[in-house]
Amino acid sequence: MAGSNDLTCPIVDPDRRSKPHHPLTDFGKLLATRGVIVSIITTPHNATRYKSTVEHAQKDGLRIQMIALEFPGQEAGLPPGCENMDSLISMDWAWEFFQACEMLKGPLEKLIGELDPKPSCVISTNALPWTQQVAERFKIPSAFSDSESFLVPNIPHEIEFTKAQLPDATKKSSGDDIKSVIDQIKIARRSARGTVVNSFDELEPGYVEGYKKERQKLWCIGPVSLCNNKFTEKCNRGNKASIDEHYCVSWLDSKEGNSVIYACFGSLCRISAAQIKEIGLGLEASNFAFIWIIRGLDCSAEVEEWLVEEKFEQRVGNRGLIIRGWAPQVLILSHPSVGGFLTHCGWNSTLEGISAGVPMITWPMFAEQFYNEKFIVRVLRSA
């Protein structure tokens, strides 16, 4: 696709996970650097999150734009303001969320029909299998972005899982609603022209080869986060950071090389107040400098009260930095003072930790995170 100025590519993602970074936005930038006209199709709230990223890319001369489609959350029975999964009060709303996503099919068809020039390819996440039907209606090739690690037949390493470590959707006790979503994903994946993966051959050659036997057209296009080289690009991925980035870098600059623990558990993991307290006490007892991210929804009144009553921040002093909410993760991980990453093992965080060369302390909590943890600990090890 290099140098093909007439190629246009919509990337469809209502941002079901709404991470503090967004691989599909990075992927869009990578495509645009190859001369492709890129339209990122998302919802208004999520478009606001990534507006600065797209604006910076446009200033660099890339032909990339953000198009927002109204999200029919309330029509599907969701509370007001829910446009991504990290805004859901409970995962019990997941089915309604996926229903709302599928209700975007009509508006997406209308939009694609009006795009000029006509799209040459549609790229979507595997959580939106209905986009395959939209692509087929307009006779447009499609591909699914698969950023998750998974087990495939005849894998090159002997990996064992307990039933408790398997994603809920793979268990017999899973509801029919979730199973139907998984079935749709499998059907769409089989009929897509190919799969693009946020990974690279050198990281997992045996697994890439194994997947190619299942799906001939597989492209490893990662680590996509490496397209963010400038300070402003690293700062403006996803939501506006809950800390001044210059202060964050200044704090890191004051520490010795490889001396800081970065503790972050992503945007979806729900951690109880009791667990948060134990994490804080553990970081304090480590006697290492640390940056500790407390997700906005987890920073409850109980947690804040505990931090104040215990005078936690006063106790740790300049040795610890707490960020309540969004953090510039790529910026932090790429700093030479960071020497350890306490992570939930989400694939994007895993890949960003690997790219930065930072050792990881693994704490998977749900979904594919247990697969990724096995990959880090059993396969990569100290490689």
4 confidence band (pLDDT: 50, 70, 90) = very low
Sheet containing strand 360-362, edge to edge, reads 320-324, 289-294, 260-264, 338-343, 360-362
For the ranges 41-50, 90-99, 262-271, the lowest mean pLDDT is seen at 90-99
Helix axes 176-191, 94-102, angle to 10 degrees: 40
Place of tokens 């699914």: 144
Distances (CA, A) of 202 to 44, 220, 337: 37, 10, 26
158 confidence band (pLDDT: 50, 70, 90) = low
Alpha-carbon distance of 224 to 214, in angstroms, equals 24
Candidates 211, 77, 92, 192; CA nearest to 148 is 211
61 confidence band (pLDDT: 50, 70, 90) = very high
191 compared with 304, residue with greater pLDDT: 304
Residue 292 pLDDT:
96
Q: Is the model's pLDDT at 277 over the cut of 50?
A: yes
Alpha-carbon distance of 366 to 91, in angstroms, equals 12
Token pair for residue 338? 């960071």
Candidates 270, 267, 243; CA nearest to 332 is 243
Q: Is the model's pLDDT at 94 over the cut of 90?
A: no
Q: Is the model's pLDDT at 153 over the cut of 60?
A: no
Candidates 230, 265, 237; CA nearest to 346 is 265
Q: Is the model's pLDDT at 178 over the cut of 60?
A: yes
CA 142 from chain center: how many Å?
21
296 confidence band (pLDDT: 50, 70, 90) = low
Over residues 178-196, mean pLDDT: 81
Candidates 292, 243, 293; CA nearest to 267 is 293
52 confidence band (pLDDT: 50, 70, 90) = confident
Over residues 168-192, mean pLDDT: 69
Distances (CA, A) of 361 to 201, 263, 264, 320, 373: 24, 9, 11, 18, 9
Distances (CA, A) of 270 to 23, 86, 323, 349: 22, 9, 16, 16
Candidates 242, 223, 218, 230; CA nearest to 331 is 230
Which residues are bridge partners to 289 per DSSP? 260
Alpha-carbon distance of 81 to 297, in angstroms, equals 14
Alpha-carbon distance of 196 to 206, in angstroms, equals 17
Domains located in the chain, CATH noted: 8-226 (3.40.50.2000), 241-380 (3.40.50.2000)
